[in-house]
Amino acid sequence: MAYPEPLEGLIEAFERFPGIGRVSAERLAFHVLRDPQAAALATAIERAARETGICSVCCNIAQGEPCELCSDPERDAAALCVVEEPRHVEAMERAGVFRGRYHVLMGALNPAEGTEDRHLSIARLVERVGAGAVEEVILATDPDAEGEATALLVVEALEAAPFRAPLITRLARGLPAGSSLDYLHRGILEDALAGRRSVGPRSG
């Protein structure tokens, strides 16, 4: 016997989330039906969709325009840390090891999963760097195959731009291979920033 149509619709909605298969979606849907507090999920989703957007400057998730980090005059505009996802900005801020500005690529290069260079905010990054205030671009993509490919893509885009590329550095190799930036603690991130190396045309 099939589930009632409203429940089936809820299950299918959960299945659209990354990493959620049919069994997990059913488990979540039944939890929503059992727990009266879970009904608040719909309100939270609706509010998040209505009140948050993408910062026009750094492409991070923001409630205002521009975001709080881009609006902060105390942050160093000369240092630009390039990360894959908004959660990586949160990880860096939680660790408290960086006081520059950020640029969020909104993903990593992974053609096998449908993410190509045109889906990333690299063109916007080149525009920001071309404006002239940025002296160093710090590549803080994850130390995995996708992150390395993404970092190379950024370097190539900046080198091909019609202006002199700034110093381009990469977080130190002390980062555990295959790890994700948002799971690393303060000490590792601090060492990675301190030991970053040049990877751009000014590396010599």
120 and 191 inside one domain: yes
Q: In the predicted model, is pLDDT for residue 173 greater than 90?
A: no
Angle subtended at Cα 117 by Cα 116 and Cα 120, rounded to the nearest 5 degrees: 100
Q: Are both 160 and 194 inside the same structural domain?
A: yes
Please report the pLDDT score of residue 143 as a whole number.
Answer: 81
Is the same domain home to 42 and 79? no
146 and 98 in one domain? Answer: yes
Same domain flag for 141 and 173: yes
pLDDT surpassing 80 at residue 91: yes
Cis-peptide into 6, omega within 30 deg: no
Per-residue pLDDT, averaged over 85-114, amounts to 92
Kindly report which listed range (3-17, 119-133, 178-192) carries the lowest average pLDDT score: 178-192
Band of residue 61 on the pLDDT scale cut at 50, 70, 90? very high
The pLDDT of residue 166 is above 90: yes
CATH of the domain at 44: 1.10.8.420
pLDDT, tens digit, for every residue of 10-56?
999 999 998 899 999 999 999 999 998 887 888 999 999 999 999 99
The answer to the question of residue 60 being in a domain is no
Question: Does the pLDDT value for residue 172 go beyond 80?
Answer: no
Residues 46 and 82 in one domain: no
Band the pLDDT of 87: cuts 50, 70, 90: very high
DSSP 8-state class, residue 39: G
Residues 140, 42 within the same domain: no
Query: Is there a single domain that holds both residue 106 and residue 25?
Result: no
Does the pLDDT of residue 7 top 80, yes or no? yes
| 3-state class (DSSP) for residue 170 | strand
CATH of the domain at 126: 3.40.1360.10
Q: Are residues 41 and 88 in the same domain?
A: no
How far from 126 is each of 39, 78, 105, 156, 201, CA to CA, in Å? 43, 14, 11, 11, 15
- Cα 123 to Cα 137: distance, rounded to the nearest angstrom: 14
Same domain, 10 and 81: no
Instruction: Give domain status of residue 58, yes or no.
Output: no
**pTM of the full predicted structure?**
0.76
Assess whether pLDDT exceeds 60 at residue 203: no
Residue 184 is part of which domain span?
75-198
Look at residue 191 in the predicted model and tell me its pLDDT. Answer: 66
Q: How much is the pLDDT for 100?
A: 97
How many domains does one find in the chain? 2
Examine residue 56 and state whether it is found in any structural domain, yes or no. no
